């Protein structure tokens, strides 16, 4: 372990604007606590986490070079997905055989967000999915987290401002447990 603390900031492209503002504040707070963001340059939640934090506080993984015009060099051209990683990703997708090559790269990017280049898993995930469902690309990451018992704070589960506040407080509880 390299004594770095990583978290994944991910979620739906349809994340509501007020939640994306909260995600941005969470990312800034976690940066101040020494955490490094891993995300994937998708519009919506990913961009909200990334916006405004310093480059040294983030690792942005792309499914291919230039995805969404993002300048990150963390893509398969520079860091190819190994056959083992491809098999691992396929294991957690319910219909891998029906995925196009581009969709497979997007899902492999989600695996890379969870593990980085050096196979160092994230300590926890902060995300938003509609009604807290496990769906889409974020769903792929959440299936992996469930298998690995990685804590997830899904802001899409909050039904009230009090529940949202409790979820945000859970981030502090999780990071405190990881650091001790």
The CATH number that applies at residue 18 is 3.40.50
Report the pLDDT averaged over residues 68-96.
Answer: 95
Domain count, the chain: 1
**pLDDT tens readout for residues 119-146:** 899 999 999 999 999 988 899 999 999 9
**What global pTM score does this model have?**
0.94
Quick one: which of 16, 46, 14 has its CA closest to 125? 46
pLDDT value at 14 more than 90? yes
Q: Supply the pLDDT for residue 57.
A: 96
For residue 127, give the 3-state DSSP assignment.
strand
Buried b (16+ CB within 10 A) or exposed e, 26-60: bbbebbeeebbbbbbbbebbbbbbbeebeeebbbb
Distance CA 31, CA 174 (A): 15
User: Would you state the structure tokens that stand for residue 152, as one six-digit string?
Assistant: 């997830």
Angle 84-39-53 (CA atoms, 0-180°, nearest 5)?
Answer: 145
Alpha-carbon distance values, 71 to 40, 74, 83 (Å): 12, 9, 26
pLDDT band at 80 (very low <50, low <70, confident <90, very high): very high
Q: What percent of the chain has pLDDT over 70?
A: 98
Mean pLDDT of the chain: 94
pLDDT value at 4 more than 90? no
Q: Supply the pLDDT for residue 78.
A: 97
Angle 17-29-165 (CA atoms, 0-180°, nearest 5)?
Answer: 60
Task: Name the residue range of residue 32's domain.
Answer: 5-179
Mean pLDDT lowest for which of 23-32, 53-62, 171-180? 171-180
Q: Supply the pLDDT for residue 1.
A: 39
């Amino acid at each position: 372990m390299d004594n770095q603390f990583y978290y994944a900031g991910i979620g739906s492209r349809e994340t509501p604007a007020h939640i994306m503002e909260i995600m941005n504040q969470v990312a800034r707070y976690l940066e101040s606590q020494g955490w490094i963001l891993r995300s994937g340059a998708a519009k919506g939640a990913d961009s909200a986490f990334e916006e405004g934090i310093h480059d040294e506080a983030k690792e942005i993984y792309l499914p291919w070079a230039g995805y969404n015009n993002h300048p990150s060099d963390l893509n398969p051209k520079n860091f190819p997905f190994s056959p083992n990683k491809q098999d691992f990703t396929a294991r957690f997708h319910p219909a891998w055989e029906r995925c196009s090559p581009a969709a497979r790269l997007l899902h492999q990017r989600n695996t890379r967000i969870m593990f980085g280049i050096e196979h160092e898993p994230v300590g926890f995930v902060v995300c938003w999915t509609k009604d807290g469902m496990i769906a889409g690309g974020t769903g792929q990451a959440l299936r992996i987290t469930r298998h690995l018992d990685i804590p997830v704070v899904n802001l899409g589960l909050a039904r009230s401002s009090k529940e949202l506040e409790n979820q945000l407080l859970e981030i502090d509880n999780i990071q405190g447990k990881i650091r001790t």
